[in-house]
Amino acid sequence: MNREYVPRALAAAVAAAFAAAAGAAPIAAAVVQRLVNAPPAGRQVWQSEPPADCPFEPSPILGGVLFTGRHSDYRCGDTFYPSWASDGNLYSPWTDGTTDGVGCGSGQGADAQTGQAVMIGHDPLELTIRNTSPPKVASALPYQGRYPCGSLVHDGIWYYGTYCLGPAGSYDHKGFRWNWPNLGPMPGFQISRDLGKTWELSPHTPESPLFPEPAQYLGPVKMGAPHFVDFGKNMEHSPDGKAYLLGMGAAEDDPEPRPCIKPTPAGSFEVQPCSDDFAHANLSWISADQVYLARVKPSPETINDLKSYEFFAGRDAGGEPVWTSDFSRIEPLLEWNNHMGCVTATWVPGLRRYLMCITDGWPTVAKMDSYILEAGALTGPWRLVAYMKDFGEQGYFLNFPSRFISTDGKTLWLCYSANFSPDWNGVKLEVNPPGGRYGLCLHELRLLAPGEGAEPAPVDPLQAADNVARQARVEVSSAHPDYSGQGAVDAHVDGYPGDIRKEWASAAEGAGAWIKLSWDRLQTIDRVQLFDRPNALDQITGGRLEFSDGSSIDLARPLPDGAARGLEIAFESKTVSWVRFTVTSVKPDSPNIGLAEFAVFGSGT
Ligand SMILES: [Ca+2]
Ligand SMILES: [Ca+2]
Ligand SMILES: [Ca+2]
């Protein structure tokens, strides 16, 4: 788990190598090339900005969230909800994208697919993610989408839930384009007894779902897109051996409908009158009015049997939770009309608290608000840790995998996906926090006590004074419109699809492209770091460093494509007035080769 940045240790190793070579004839100078991590980017305390009508009291023990800037760099689909199995691995559904070289789409009606993968490893930044079997097909009809929801591996058996969405993934209504505006029924669980290699179909269908809802096609449900509470490895912290499911829902007689809207020229939206029989995504894949709770002793016999379930049905006169096996008596666990949506929860042993993530993603295709609640018991009371307005800026499917929680419970990794709908209805979306993407994201965060400030950030070596590239004059062989060579020496590893000002992209060059750094005064340097453009299209696979003293060094390996790691080249000190990096080979079809960052370390003049 220790991935701290250790340039000083490397410098010492190089010095030791030189010392060992002392006495030998001076032949080729020692050069050490190795991969290094990009410094964490985007460290920030996410300011909690709860709306005035927030019904949750502030938590007395947790008062905020610090994103450390450490984040993953996977290229996968979305909809990851990892479950920690007794073999130590995580097993997760996924869909809508490509994972491990295989595509999957859940919005295909009769041919709707859902994927499944195993996530192997202890480091959230270095997981090996492999499909356990090809995506499986189960009809969504009469809905059009059938997506993954609650997923649990318990005692070696994988229970994989799906839920329906309608009427279409892209639905135009009075000038506004919605994404899956109607949340549908839950057609039970598919079961695998061999950790995802083979599957038994659910006995339920969209027209004969596990929970007896909705009353009519496209009508509201209560146990919508239910997700298992994450009780840790093999459910070890379940209070009673039961699995608990949180659903999002709405009522038939909703007193607060969501409004009809239309886009504005400024990239926002405004309310317009409407008399149509359309619920405007009041209960969609990512928006809801209430949260509901159910529980079941998991087994292949019970998981698809409604009679085996109990439902939270409010509180008795003494304030104690009431459980019922009569689905018609289900009551909201939580309600904040027009401010709820996708819901997950995780037990945090070090805090002896549950954390709940809720995303209000209405109107389904714009920025989304997420918030974190905590409670000592699933039945509450739940209190606010942080209301994260515009998290992502379009973050969804948030969950805290129990596998990646520190012993004290204060450092966790948030699993989510972001920004699936850039430009729908003209709405612009930024990536925030940095490193987010449409697909699996894991971001490290620290929970702060009320009033606790963030500890000082670790020193960022790229921003330290000995990175003399920052003072260099920059020339490049070419620059793509809106890009410049300066982006490669700004001490930030970023670029498309993030901030394009923070990288250099050439104008349609490949091998042969170059970038030259020059100084007015001689610089004594001993180390260079090169970070590829973060995008997955362009990759430098070979290159050469040339120095004003006439020496040169060829790269020993390709630059890592994703830029979460870079290549460090350490060498015996040189005193130079310029260094040029020339690209000598690229990944086939790289459209605009360039660099996210070119750092040069030394003692200056
Ligand atoms: Ca409502
Ligand atoms: Ca940069
Ligand atoms: Ca790249």
pTM for the predicted model, two decimal places = 0.87
The number of the ligand nearest the C-alpha atom of 596 reads 2
Residue 430 CB coordination number (10 Å): 16
| Phi/psi at 111 (5° precision) | -110, 25
Mean pLDDT of all residues in 190-198: 98
Q: What pLDDT is stored for residue 352 in this prediction?
A: 98
Centroid of ligand 2 to alpha carbon of 437 (angstroms):
19
Q: Which residues contact 206 (CB under 8 A, 6 or more apart)?
A: 139, 140, 141, 142, 143, 146, 164, 184, 185, 187
Mean pLDDT, the chain, integer: 94
pLDDT tens per residue across span 254-283: 999 999 999 999 989 999 999 999 999 999
Centroid of ligand 1 to alpha carbon of 90 (angstroms):
35
Centroid of ligand 1 to alpha carbon of 396 (angstroms):
19
Q: Which residues contact 372 (CB under 8 A, 6 or more apart)?
A: 65, 355, 356, 357, 384, 385, 386, 388
pLDDT tens per residue across span 422-445: 989 999 999 999 889 999 999 999
Centroid of ligand 3 to alpha carbon of 536 (angstroms):
5
Residue 535 has pLDDT above 80, yes or no: yes
Q: Which residues contact 526 (CB under 8 A, 6 or more apart)?
A: 11, 14, 570, 571, 572, 573, 574, 601, 602, 603
The number of the ligand nearest the C-alpha atom of 499 reads 2
Centroid of ligand 2 to alpha carbon of 194 (angstroms):
46
The number of the ligand nearest the C-alpha atom of 288 reads 1
- Residues β-bridged to residue 416: 441
Distance of CA 421 to the CA centre of its chain: 15
Mean pLDDT of all residues in 392-413: 98
Q: Which residues contact 408 (CB under 8 A, 6 or more apart)?
A: 350, 351
Per-residue DSSP letter, 78: B
Residue 31 has pLDDT above 60, yes or no: yes
Let me know: does 257 contact 277? Beta carbons within 8 Å.
no
Let me know: does 102 contact 108? Beta carbons within 8 Å.
no
Residue 11 has pLDDT above 70, yes or no: no
Q: What pLDDT is stored for residue 1 in this prediction?
A: 34
The number of the ligand nearest the C-alpha atom of 534 reads 3
The number of the ligand nearest the C-alpha atom of 254 reads 1
pLDDT tens per residue across span 481-503: 999 999 999 999 999 988 899 99
Centroid of ligand 1 to alpha carbon of 245 (angstroms):
22
Q: DSSP 3-state assignment of 500? A: helix
Distance of CA 563 to the CA centre of its chain: 17
Centroid of ligand 2 to alpha carbon of 490 (angstroms):
5
Give dist(CA 472, CA 594) in Å, integer: 18
CA dihedral 148, 152, 158, 161 (to 10 degrees): -30
Give dist(CA 333, CA 293) in Å, integer: 6
The number of the ligand nearest the C-alpha atom of 488 reads 2
The number of the ligand nearest the C-alpha atom of 532 reads 3
Centroid of ligand 3 to alpha carbon of 537 (angstroms):
6
Centroid of ligand 3 to alpha carbon of 202 (angstroms):
41
The number of the ligand nearest the C-alpha atom of 497 reads 3
Residue 64 tokens, joined: 């905020």
Q: Produce one character per residue of 362-378: b if its CB has 16 or more CB atoms within 10 Å, e if not.
A: bbbbbbbbbbbbbbeeb
Q: Domains in the chain, ordered, with CATH?
A: 7-40+461-604 (2.60.120.260), 44-448 (2.115.10)
Mean pLDDT of all residues in 327-342: 98
Q: What pLDDT is stored for residue 375 in this prediction?
A: 98
Q: DSSP 3-state assignment of 329? A: helix
Closest CA to 118 of 127, 107, 106, 105: 127
Closest CA to 213 of 181, 250, 258, 159: 250
Q: What pLDDT is stored for residue 29 in this prediction?
A: 61
Q: Produce one character per residue of 104-119: b if its CB has 16 or more CB atoms within 10 Å, e if not.
A: bbbbbeeebbbbbbbb
Give dist(CA 47, CA 274) in Å, integer: 36
Give dist(CA 594, CA 494) in Å, integer: 12
Residue 22 has pLDDT above 80, yes or no: no
Residue 465 tokens, joined: 């004074």
Residue 169 has pLDDT above 50, yes or no: yes
The number of the ligand nearest the C-alpha atom of 533 reads 3
Centroid of ligand 2 to alpha carbon of 492 (angstroms):
4
R_g of the chain, CA atoms, integer Å: 26
Closest CA to 159 of 48, 327, 296: 296
The band of 218, judged by pLDDT with boundaries at 50, 70 and 90, is very high
